[in-house]
Structure 1
């Protein structure tokens, strides 16, 4: 198969996933459609190395991971996290709920490796799924490598509709209070938007403020991201004799520091025009793992998939509602914040806006709902998917203990 034909076929699949997701208003996740089409391709006429043939071999995908995780770190707004401290505690409680219930249920039915591989993708998104799939592959556990990807692909089916239901209930509660005149309007929608505007007004990060903006080319931005990624890798290697820390975890931390110090701007990959390409490369890489999936393997994985996703939802509900009650946050809002762990951005943004648009057409009412629901949903997704899941994956990938029986 020629390289460009392989690339065209893969991009058709990614686009069809987006089309279906858009037509169904995100109720059918794009990743599910893509996964099904990839499986059909692998089981029929796709060469097993079609992703590498298209131009995304493993080494390129790893490069994209370094760039994207550093970019994730730059999105952290310390001010917003301070304002949303209740959201952070609720999000963390939901994660604790996932871990606790998944370990208890997993211990009853499955082996240690299955539990270890399942938890980070349940807490996060594409990056944690890739880290665990890569670790399982290196440990000689192909079933579990596919399992990590399947969890990432399927968990949105429960997360999307549940979040929509919870947010609609919360929105109706808020609108009722607003109409009764008992609702206090929250004026500060999100400091992230303000930061973005500030970044747009000042195209150079503070450490390079004296350099003319015309010198801030895409190459200069990529160079600075790569330097941060290289520092993360180097520190990881230096620490290896003492403690094993994934370079991807350090990439996240170093990205936060680099943005805070003014070495990197917020969302540098987007500014350099490389964000879409990097995401495309990682998406193809994650679906490439399905080349090892056989029909028999998928049948073996159905039971643990259902059990772990249901366990995660139950754990999130119990822990987030308890903490939400202590913090005087409604159970609907608390559960919605916790559920962002199943999908993260941009699904949290899309679902919240979709709910708001369905509840009201009045601009003032939309502003009330947006200021109340959007910031905690964005921060909840950021905490779980962007931060905690990557850290968890970086820690737990080192706990995989060789070729045990993947699924009992």
Structure 2
């Protein structure tokens, strides 16, 4: 198979996944569709090295991970987090519920190694799944390496419908209050903080024409390299994943004005980086035989069910303490199962289904969307990467 044919086939699979997700309004996740097509391909005519053949060997994927995680750090808005402090506590409580339920019950059912591999992907997204998959593979745990990817692929099936159900209950309650005049549209700085232009304080005297795409890539790569360097220097004392430091250094670099927000997007590299990373993720399915898939089915369902139950109990408790409705608290914690953009899509779909009045939609959006976005950011973008960096050391 030629390189370009391999690339065409793989990108076509990614596109088909997007189309199905859009047509079903995200009820069928794109990653699930892609995973099924990749499995069918590997079980039939795909060469085992089709992803490398297409131009995405492990070294390229590793480079993209460093750039993407550092870019994640640039998304942090201190103003947004300050406004949504209750959301942060609820999100953290939900994550703690997953950890307690899986370590407390899951280890007795599935074993400690399975639980260690399961938690970061269940709390987060593609990056944490890849970290745990690689860690399991390096530890000689081939089945668990596949398990990390499959749990990431499947968890949305629990998250999407549950989120839609509880958000509709929350939305109906808020809509009733709004129509009685008991609820006003919230005017916060959240939306502004997402789109505000972060000045490059360290380069404010530099003309904009010199801030080229290559200069953006250079600064992003330099921050990633510093994270790697510090990780290696600390290795004799304490083992800290360079990916965790990439996230931290990205936040610091943005706050001091060395990096701008969404720097990878502004350098026109985000789409290509995500494509390479997703292809590398699905490359891990090449070792998944039909018998192996049957073998991991039981722990897969069990871990997701236990995680969701633990998440519900802990978020419910935290919601009561903070006087947040149980529906909103559970919805916020559920964002750990999918993150952005699914949190944005589901919330908007629910709001649009509840009312056609523009003012009512704006009122619902101001109350429901900010906590959903922050919840997804905290769990998927931050905590899951930190947990993956810590847990991978125990394999």
Q: Shorter chain as normaliser: what TM range?
A: over 0.9
Match of 1:140 in 2: 140
Q: 2:267 aligns with which of 272, 275, 281?
A: 272
Match of 1:158 in 2: 158
Q: How many residues align?
A: 395
Checking the alignment, whether the CA contact within 8 Å between 1:196 and 1:266 is kept in structure 2 is no
| Residues 24-68 of structure 1, C-alpha deviations (whole Å, 9 max, x = no match) | 000000000000000000000000110000000000000000000
Match of 1:385 in 2: 380
Q: Secondary structure at the match of 1:198?
A: coil
Match of 1:304 in 2: 299
Distance 1:210 1:284 in 2: 40
Match of 1:244 in 2: 239
Q: CA RMSD in A?
A: 0.9
Q: Secondary structure at the match of 2:134?
A: helix
Q: Which moved more, 1:102-111 or 1:233-242?
A: 102-111
Q: Does 1:354 align with 2:349?
A: yes
Q: Secondary structure at the match of 2:93?
A: helix
TM-score w.r.t. structure 1 length?
Answer: 0.96
Match of 1:149 in 2: 149
Match of 2:2 in 1: 2
Tell me: CA distance 1:195–1:35, structure 2 relative to 1, closer, same or farther (3 Å).
Answer: closer
Checking the alignment, whether the CA contact within 8 Å between 1:133 and 1:149 is kept in structure 2 is yes
Checking the alignment, whether the CA contact within 8 Å between 2:151 and 2:300 is kept in structure 1 is yes
Q: Which moved more, 1:134-143 or 1:350-359?
A: 350-359
Q: Does 1:218 align with 2:191?
A: no
The CA deviation at 1:189 is: 6.0
Structure 1 runs, 4 residues or longer, greater than 6 Å off: none
Tell me: CA distance 1:301–1:31, structure 2 relative to 1, closer, same or farther (3 Å).
Answer: same
Checking the alignment, whether the CA contact within 8 Å between 1:86 and 1:327 is kept in structure 2 is yes
Match of 2:109 in 1: 109
Match of 2:26 in 1: 26
Checking the alignment, whether the CA contact within 8 Å between 1:189 and 1:370 is kept in structure 2 is no
Checking the alignment, whether the CA contact within 8 Å between 2:224 and 2:246 is kept in structure 1 is yes
TM-score w.r.t. structure 2 length?
Answer: 0.99
Q: Which runs of 5+ in 2 are unaligned?
A: none
Checking the alignment, whether the CA contact within 8 Å between 1:356 and 1:366 is kept in structure 2 is yes
Q: 1:338 aligns with which of 333, 341, 362?
A: 333
Q: Which runs of 5+ in 1 are unaligned?
A: 401-408
Match of 1:42 in 2: 42
The CA deviation at 1:363 is: 1.2
Checking the alignment, whether the CA contact within 8 Å between 1:58 and 1:285 is kept in structure 2 is yes
Distance 2:248 2:35 in 1: 31
Distance 1:42 1:264 in 2: 41
Q: Does 1:197 align with 2:196?
A: yes
